[in-house]
Structure 1
């Protein structure tokens, strides 16, 4: 199992568009129901976005990049960002009903 955190800040004028593109990814995930992945996205009040992806695969592979909505989200992401994406592996220090227990 691997957990990854992605954090970036969007330009104020691009934040709502970014949120709509993320919502489309979740809609496609709900329709496709792929196994082996859990995904959470948060938007902070300063237009920072945080994504947490948990995959069952030890190598971190995920079905999310194969989604058409994710490709649309990725298209132009750097142009929407005031601060570029920072990707980091994360471990859980504490967890109460947020993620599956290992």
Structure 2
């Protein structure tokens, strides 16, 4: 199941590369225990993201609960520190 998740995420990044939506930053990490972490930042004042509008992202979301041991848990975050990881210093 985790390899399937990785394939679906790769398709999202391929579509992002082709579409190049403005105001979106997205990163996905796969930890050694096969946990996935997704970090999404949007520049829209209302917090709207173009990510859910992508067909590849819809495909990734389809059946996600069946592919996960625990359901996804969206949470907000604040950058406390950044040294060259996010492209800004």
TM-score (norm 2): 0.94
1:46 maps to: 33
2:4 maps to: 17
TM-score (norm 1): 0.82
Structure that is richer in strand per residue: 1
Q: How many residues matched?
A: 88
Shift of 1:16: 0.1
Shift of 1:91: 0.2
Shift of 1:58: 2.8
Pairing of 1:39-78 with structure 2 (within 5 A): 39-78=26-65
Shift of 1:97: 1.8
**Any unmatched runs of 5+ in structure 2?**
none
Q: RMSD between aligned alpha carbons?
A: 1.0
User: Helix, strand or coil: the match of 1:39?
Assistant: strand
